[in-house]
């Protein structure tokens, strides 16, 4: 759902990934003392009229492959996944293509599909071997409750995508927002993967978990136990404890470090006589991968991107530009893609996609 089904005080208050920060407290229109010197964002491509665009996922492998979430019909809030690639010869984006639509009515993902995360590997299903894996959020309600995480497979980045028969791989409570906002990293560039995801507990507390999966043979897929990730070292704009959610992850090229980008907690704002919470700043941090995958470790904050860089009041659902295994290039220059939005009566319809280049220490 809107990537950012932002975490709320109740299911009905959540907004998908881009409305997901309800219930978290911090100053919304803080002027960000950014660690990023001189960085400015740019629009990736113009949004279609009467659509929202968020939850980007980019794989950079000579060609720039790109997935995101958007509604398919003007002004109708039903999440679909779309795909396009950047044609460097023409210096232009290819036309938008539908990557994945909601499932059949009554199925676990029959209302919304969003929050794509894609990696390359080797995944065998019977006599078929697939080269690409997609993790996504699926939902069967219109109340922003009962989000769950599923997988799909394809032979090529543009699909067609085939849903995994064992979906959902991460269940979510029907009484809360549930589970979603997945991020995939390959562990061996074959069938072993790390799956990060957000989960809202029954007491409405929110955490990010990691499960390691072996999908080499889908008929005998193995899902490891969930490990709750450390938030040590992460910061907010006030003294509140940090909440880790709506996050994307990437490994360093050397494999010894893990990077995270996540929104700072959002403050409350009244728009059109309604109380909403939307984030304006995303934070980048890194830690030792060996410790993080054990639920330990401490993050070091490297950068923040907010209104000073984007020129927009809101910024959320950020994702790294990663290689096909979910790693960053070793140069220190990192691309972030994120959704930005304006302060208006209904910010949803202002969501568009921007990119920014960061020089990380």
Q: What is the CATH number of the domain that holds 172?
A: 2.115.10.20
Q: How confident is the model at residue 268 (pLDDT cuts 50, 70, 90)?
A: low
Q: How confident is the model at residue 271 (pLDDT cuts 50, 70, 90)?
A: low
3-state secondary structure 130-195: EEEEEEEEEECCCCCCCEEEEEEEECCCCCCCEECCCCCCECCCCCCCEEEEEEEEECCCCCEEEE
Are 211 and 47 spatial neighbours (Cβ–Cβ below 8 Å)? no
Which carries the bigger pLDDT value, residue 316 or residue 27? Answer: 316
Mean pLDDT, residues 176-199 taken together: 98
- Quote the number of domains for the chain: 1
pLDDT of 18 reads 36
Which carries the bigger pLDDT value, residue 259 or residue 14? Answer: 259
Q: How confident is the model at residue 35 (pLDDT cuts 50, 70, 90)?
A: very low
Mean pLDDT, residues 186-215 taken together: 97
How far is the C-alpha of 221 from the C-alpha of 327, rounded, in Å?
23
Are 183 and 137 spatial neighbours (Cβ–Cβ below 8 Å)? no
What percentage of the chain reaches a pLDDT higher than 70?
Answer: 86
Mean pLDDT, residues 29-38 taken together: 33
pLDDT in tens, 113-170: 999 999 999 999 988 999 999 999 999 999 989 999 999 999 999 999 999 999 999 9
The SS3 assignment for 300 reads: strand
What percentage of the chain reaches a pLDDT higher than 90?
Answer: 76
How far is the C-alpha of 105 from the C-alpha of 242, rounded, in Å?
37
How far is the C-alpha of 145 from the C-alpha of 24, rounded, in Å?
18
How far is the C-alpha of 79 from the C-alpha of 99, rounded, in Å?
12
Mean pLDDT, residues 335-361 taken together: 91
Q: Is the pLDDT of residue 293 over 60?
A: yes
Which carries the bigger pLDDT value, residue 172 or residue 40? Answer: 172
Cis upstream peptide for 292 (omega within 30°): no
Q: Among positive and negative, which fits the CA dihedral 267, 138, 115, 233?
A: positive
pLDDT of 8 reads 34
Q: How confident is the model at residue 269 (pLDDT cuts 50, 70, 90)?
A: low
What's the distance, CA 165 to chain centroid?
23
Are 293 and 312 spatial neighbours (Cβ–Cβ below 8 Å)? no
Tell me phi and psi for residue 349, to 5 degrees: -80, 5
pLDDT of 235 reads 95
What range does the domain containing 111 cover? 2-359
How far is the C-alpha of 127 from the C-alpha of 107, rounded, in Å?
26
Question: pTM, whole model, 2 decimals?
Answer: 0.90
């Amino acid at each position: 759902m809107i990537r950012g089904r932002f975490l709320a005080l109740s299911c009905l208050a959540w907004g998908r990934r881009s409305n997901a920060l309800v219930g978290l407290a911090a100053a919304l229109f803080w002027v960000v003392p950014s660690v990023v010197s001189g960085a400015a964002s740019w629009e990736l491509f113009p949004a279609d009229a009467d659509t929202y665009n968020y939850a980007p996922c980019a794989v950079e492998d000579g060609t720039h492959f790109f997935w995101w979430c958007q509604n398919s019909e003007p002004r109708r809030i039903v999440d679909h996944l779309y795909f396009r690639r950047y044609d460097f010869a023409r210096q232009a984006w290819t036309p938008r293509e539908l990557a994945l639509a909601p499932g059949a009515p009554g199925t676990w993902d029959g209302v919304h599909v969003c929050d794509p995360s894609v990696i390359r590997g080797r995944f065998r299903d019977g006599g078929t071997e697939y080269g690409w894996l997609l993790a996504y959020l699926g939902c069967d309600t219109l109340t922003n409750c009962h989000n769950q995480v599923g997988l799909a497979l394809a032979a090529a980045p543009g699909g067609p995508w085939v849903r995994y028969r064992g979906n959902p791989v991460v269940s979510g409570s029907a009484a809360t927002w549930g589970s979603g906002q997945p991020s995939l990293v390959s562990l061996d560039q074959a069938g072993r993967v790390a799956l990060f995801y957000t989960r809202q507990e029954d007491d409405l507390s929110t955490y990010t978990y990691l499960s390691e999966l072996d999908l080499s043979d889908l008929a005998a897929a193995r899902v490891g136990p969930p490990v709750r990730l450390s938030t040590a070292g992460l910061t907010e704009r006030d003294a509140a404890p940090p909440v880790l959610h709506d996050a994307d992850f990437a490994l360093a090229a050397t494999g010894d470090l893990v990077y995270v980008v996540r929104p700072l907690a959002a403050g409350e704002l009244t728009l059109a006589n309604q109380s909403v919470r939307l984030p304006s700043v995303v934070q980048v941090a890194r830690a030792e991968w060996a410790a993080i995958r054990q639920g330990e470790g401490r993050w070091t904050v490297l950068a923040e991107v907010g209104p000073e860089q984007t020129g927009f009041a809101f910024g959320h659902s950020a994702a790294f530009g990663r290689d096909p295994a979910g790693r960053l290039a070793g140069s220190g220059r990192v691309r972030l893609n994120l959704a930005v939005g304006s302060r208006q009566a209904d910010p949803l319809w202002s969501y568009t996609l921007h990119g920014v280049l960061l020089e990380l220490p």
